[in-house]
Amino acid sequence: MPDIRFVVFDMDQVLYDYDHQTRLKLLEQLTGRAAAEIDRAVWGGPQEAAAEAGSPDTPEGYLAQYAELLGYPIDFGTWADIRRKMMRARPDVLELVRRLKPGADLALLTNNGMMLKAALPTCAPEVVEIFGEKAHVSAEFKARKPDPSVYLRLCKKYGYAPEESAFIDDNPANVAGAVEAGMAGHVYTTVDELLGFLGRHNLV
């Protein structure tokens, strides 16, 4: 088993609980539109996946597209506050990630557009604390998980071969994409299972 020097984590449903229904409820209260209608308008079409792959490629462009789909003007602070309220940190997982820092290089890779990248200090301050500039959204790499190219571009950015890198995500398809790219992969279910995976790779 090769030594793992670079460990990449997904964000939602790994480091944080993520409740889409809370977001829809808050948007319903904000706009007066029905939650199901908002869900179809904003997330039912191709626009969100395109944003996760880098189009639009700025926070301002993303927010303008979001507001158009929502049918309601929304500013940066409101968007970020709603995103924050739909998330809840998982302290046990975050503490385990902190334990890795002395022995491995760490990064974050979440399927998201550039708006979330700009809003991370508000939405996920623990991510900024742990990963710093290595907290990435897929839009930065012009591809989204599970496309193997997004993992390869991330590894190349930091000078690691896929074979010395590991990826953790709650979505089996995303982990399969990382494995296809040559990385070790783990489908997150519980912190104990994650601890076992990290132990098998001599990371804890």
Per-chain mean pLDDT for the chain: 97
Any idea what DSSP says for residue 143?
A: -
Residue-level pLDDT at 111: 98
CATH of domain 6-17+89-200: 3.40.50.1000
Average pLDDT over residues 17-44: 98
Q: How confident is the model at residue 1 (pLDDT cuts 50, 70, 90)?
A: low
Dist CA 125 CA 119 (whole Å): 9
Dist CA 178 CA 37 (whole Å): 34
Q: Which residues of 100-117 are buried (b: 16+ CB within 10 A; e: fewer)?
A: beeebbbbbbbbbbbbbb
Q: Does position 2 have pLDDT exceeding 80, yes or no?
A: no
| Domain parsing of the chain, residue ranges | 6-17+89-200, 18-85
- Who's near 3: CB < 8 A, 6+ residues apart? 164, 201, 202
